[in-house]
A and B are shown apart, each in its own frame.
Chain A
Amino acid sequence: MSKLVKRVRDWVSNGWIPIGSTSDQTVVCSSSAAGEVHRLPLDVFMLILHLLQPKDAARVSAVCKSWKLIVFQDALWMYYLKNNHPHGLSDLFAETKLRSRRANPHRQMLPFMHIFGQRQQSPGAIIIDAGVGYCKIGWSKYDSPSLRLATFVEFGDDEFPLDDRVHHFIETIFNSMHVNPSKQPVILTTPIGLHSGVEASEMELAVFGSLVSLRVPTACLVKQPTLALFASRRTSGILVNIGFRETQVVPIVNTYTRYGAITTKVGGLHLTRYLRRQLRVRNVEVPSLYTARTLKENLCYVALDYWAEFHKDTEASYKVGSEGLYTLKQERFRTGEVLFKPQLAGRNVKGLHQAVARCIDHCKYSTDRSWYKTIILAGGTAKLPGLAERLEMELRDLLPPSLSRGIRVIPSPYGADAAWHGAKMIGNLSSFRKSWCLSGEV
């Protein structure tokens, strides 16, 4: 509230005076008593508007003409957008930066009050983020995906034709969500990680065919890395997505992928398998990869100094459901180390830091020198504590000072759901159907 008072005062002192510029700023309306004017202190009025629900503020804009002028201020509606919702800051970012898919500096900006109203009335979208390992599905108006399916389980056997499998898969999704596919648009993330060995374009065609037959009103395809970047409220940067089987390092400038992405064949699955193998050496049998994954998510981390970590007491335990208590020691940081030393898990590929450094090196001829120094992490494995700090340190060691100066690695707030949350921003946009969806019917 005190921040609000300060802001209101700033507006007033900045000459933000809609009507009546006496030294006491007041809102002047004609009064019902003949010939009189009604004065309402502006700063108090602004404070009260901020305390109202957006709906009530829109309603009172009809009281009189001066009230409408004041209620219409963009700043007020940006405040509502930001504070109306736990994800308000993301909503505000989306409405200011992502309203159109193609950047267009000449486009006309709607008043925020209209934007707010359009969002209120929008049906949202069903988001299907089919990763290689898991598929995250949910309605964009919800706070998080409501359904997670193991992609490889639901997708079926290779012996059936691709179209049938895709159709079965998408139908399963709509059935499990209990929604009518013809009611709202669909956002699909690409690449659609349903299966290896299938051309991306072939897969997209099959998916579209299936959506048409389900009478989905319209659809929108967006790249996973771009969406994950949006989720961290940015439109430029190097996005590092540590996926199920592989890690992608993708440079993105103003929402466009540029300078070639780099992929290394190390992902969360390899870390989980390595953890299980280490425990087996100690004669601790972990019954399934799911259990190993739970242990990884709850106990593992990335050491800042790998060799020094061996001299510390790192023992910690975690209870997995009915299976009992597991105690991990060195495995806790050796598992995460696979990202930097894939050889530990028998993968003969470059480490994460080397891939990112190579990517930065590719970007160094870009005219704008700042964007590629922000590295954003995404993916379930990116949630390992200590990863951002370690990667930043490794990059400083690897890169020449001119490139490493000002480098920042941003940890992932949404982990595996990053792309889903980026899609949520798009799906709730006031301009979603007009500027992001395919025109006409799918």
Chain B
Amino acid sequence: MSKKTLTLMSKDKQLFNIEEHLAVQSVTIRNMVKEDGASSVIPLPRVDSETLALVIEYLNRQQAPEEDEDYVKKFVDERGEIPTLLELAQAALDLDIKKLMDAACMKVADLIKDFTLEEVREALRIENDRTPEEEKAIRDEFQWAF
């Protein structure tokens, strides 16, 4: 197999090169290559350059198949910040890289599970738009969950 190189372009117009046989782990790219050879640059309008760098790092991994599961887990564990993981999950969803997407979503779910509401808001920089009374009403309504 010839080592052809593809170029991916992030939201902020940065270019990344990657060998085609590695890039086609992404189903989206595989379909593009199948359709038109994808000789030109592939634009990824929803992915910023930092996230794309991560995705490229993931696609470039050299892992035996049996260790792959552990590798993906470790890969997302090392990036334990919720906003980063969300960006990563979004990119993996767009590019259709199933393992990476599953692992990233799973990690966020795991983190959220152990967070208090305040910690969730802080991690995502979300403002609490409810008064304490409104919040108490919700807690009372869903007593079984708190």
Q: CA of A70 to CA of B113 in the docked complex: distance in angstroms?
A: 17
Main secondary structure of the interface of A (DSSP, over half): helix
- CB-nearest residue of chain B to A1: B102
Residues of A within 8 A of B127 (CB): 29-32, 38, 64
**Known contacts being A31-B126, A64-B127, is A120 close to B109, with CB within 8 Å?**
no
Q: Which of B86, B93, B144, B146 contacts A40 (CB 8 A)?
A: B86
The answer to whether A48 touches B46 (Cβ under 8 A) is no
The answer to whether B126 touches A44 (Cβ under 8 A) is no
**Known contacts being A1-B102, A48-B108, A121-B144, is A60 close to B129, with CB within 8 Å?**
no
A-B pair number, CB within 8 angstroms: 103
The answer to whether B142 touches A51 (Cβ under 8 A) is no
Residues of B within 8 A of A51 (CB): 105-106, 109
**Chain B nearest CB, measured from A112 CB (Å):** 13
The answer to whether A38 touches B125 (Cβ under 8 A) is yes
The answer to whether A32 touches B112 (Cβ under 8 A) is no
B16-24, B59-67, B116-124: which lies at the A interface? Answer: B116-124
The answer to whether B105 touches A60 (Cβ under 8 A) is no
* B-facing residues in A1-30 (Cβ within 8 Å): 1-2, 5, 24, 29-30
B14 at the interface (CB under 8 A from A): no
Residues of A within 8 A of B122 (CB): 32
Q: Mark A34-78, 1 if CB is under 8 A from B, else 0.
A: 001010110110011001111110111111110110000000000
The answer to whether A32 touches B126 (Cβ under 8 A) is yes
Residues of B within 8 A of A52 (CB): 109, 112-113
**Known contacts being A64-B121, A64-B130, is A56 close to B113, with CB within 8 Å?**
yes
**Chain A nearest CB, measured from B74 CB (Å):** 19
The answer to whether B93 touches A65 (Cβ under 8 A) is no
The answer to whether B146 touches A59 (Cβ under 8 A) is yes
**Chain A nearest CB, measured from B73 CB (Å):** 14
B68 at the interface (CB under 8 A from A): no
Q: Which of A47, A56, A58 contacts B89 (CB 8 A)?
A: A47
- CB-nearest residue of chain B to A42: B90
**Known contacts being A1-B102, A2-B98, A44-B93, is A63 close to B108, with CB within 8 Å?**
no
Residues of B within 8 A of A47 (CB): 89, 93, 101, 105
**Chain B nearest CB, measured from A9 CB (Å):** 9
Residues of B within 8 A of A55 (CB): 144-145
A117 at the interface (CB under 8 A from B): yes
Number of interface residues of A (CB under 8 A): 37
The answer to whether A56 touches B126 (Cβ under 8 A) is no
The answer to whether A44 touches B105 (Cβ under 8 A) is yes
**Chain B nearest CB, measured from A85 CB (Å):** 16
Q: CA of A1 to CA of B97 in the docked complex: distance in angstroms?
A: 12
B139 at the interface (CB under 8 A from A): yes
The answer to whether A40 touches B98 (Cβ under 8 A) is no
Q: CA of A30 to CA of B127 in the docked complex: distance in angstroms?
A: 6
- CB-nearest residue of chain B to A121: B144
Q: CA of A62 to CA of B128 in the docked complex: distance in angstroms?
A: 9
A33 at the interface (CB under 8 A from B): yes
The answer to whether B139 touches A30 (Cβ under 8 A) is no
B135 at the interface (CB under 8 A from A): yes
The answer to whether A63 touches B120 (Cβ under 8 A) is yes
Q: CA of A24 to CA of B11 in the docked complex: distance in angstroms?
A: 13
**Contacts A41-B93, A43-B90 supplied; 16 other A-B pairs, CB < 8 Å:** A5-B101, A29-B124, A30-B129, A31-B126, A32-B121, A32-B125, A32-B126, A38-B125, A40-B124, A47-B89, A52-B113, A56-B113, A58-B145, A64-B127, A64-B128, A68-B138
8 contacts between A and B (CB under 8 A): A31-B126, A32-B122, A32-B127, A40-B86, A41-B86, A47-B101, A51-B106, A60-B120
Residues of A within 8 A of B (CB): 1-2, 5, 24, 29-33, 36, 38, 40-41, 43-44, 47-48, 51-56, 58-65, 67-68, 113, 117, 120-121
Name the 9 nearest CB pairs between A and B, nearest first: A58-B145, A51-B109, A30-B127, A41-B90, A120-B144, A44-B89, A58-B142, A62-B138, A29-B126
